[in-house]
A and B are shown apart, each in its own frame.
Chain A
């Protein structure tokens, strides 16, 4: 499973766009990139998943360059309720059964 590296923490203010970049230099051909969000005392919640280029949903966008060695989660106009830990995960659902290998994550703090 590819190892991921992301900033330990980030600070932002309400209304700003937040970009969290994750490095995964040894990503394999069949690996997908998935991001989860976790609030205190809750289980993680799926945000977005992608393989290459750009993916957008109602919550976030995921940018993946052509070499796929990194990815950037973009949260538009954050609010206080976006304060959480964000995890970047890389893995092959087909051969690894979908198990998630979590790193330390990025603790995002949104201030008023």
Chain B
């Protein structure tokens, strides 16, 4: 079946512009996560959705970053007034959560969006 998809795969923008990154999770996965990975660094958690709600936004680095999820499916990560330090690969992941919760933490990652801010 289809995995997690992200678009665009690459995005080059100028400093100060806004960008939107899209994530299509695996169908039926209720949990969705955004991470970013700077060059040569590990992954950094940004935000977590359960359904359309975001119970954990603790990783968003500043108020220029926001995300939403609609219909319990597609999610959009928006970065306003981009800065050069925002350059990174932005990864989305999704996970299925059974009723009553699940101890399985297998997250399925998309291929990422490589963002370059000039």
Q: Hey, which bits of chain A sit against chain B, CB under 8 A?
A: 32, 34, 42-46, 49, 51, 87, 91, 93-94, 96-105
Find out whether the CB atom of B105 lies under 8 angstroms from the CB atom of A34: yes
CB-based A-B contact count at 8 angstroms: 71
A93 and B103 contact, CB distance less than 8 A: yes
Task: Give B residues with C-beta under 8 Å from A.
Answer: 4, 31, 33, 35, 41-45, 48, 50, 55-56, 59, 91, 93, 95, 97, 101-112
Given the known interface contacts A97-B56, A99-B56, A100-B105, the answer about A43 and B111 at a Cβ–Cβ threshold of 8 Å is yes
Are B55 and A97 in contact (CB-based, < 8 A)?
yes
5 CB < 8 A contacts A-B? A34-B105, A42-B109, A46-B108, A49-B104, A87-B42
Given contacts A93-B102, A102-B42, 10 further A-B contacts (CB under 8 A): A42-B109, A43-B111, A45-B109, A93-B104, A96-B56, A98-B48, A102-B45, A104-B41, A104-B42, A105-B42
* A99 interface neighbour in B33, B91, B104, Cβ under 8 Å: B33
Residue in A43, A87, A91, A104 whose CB lies within 8 Å of B105? A91
A43 and B5 CA atoms in complex are apart in Å by 11
Nearest chain B CB to A40 CB, angstrom units: 11
Kindly report which residue of chain A lies nearest to residue B108, judged by CB atoms. A46
Nearest 3 pairs of A and B residues by beta carbon: A43-B109, A102-B43, A46-B106
Give the docked Cα–Cα distance between A45 and B111 (Å): 11
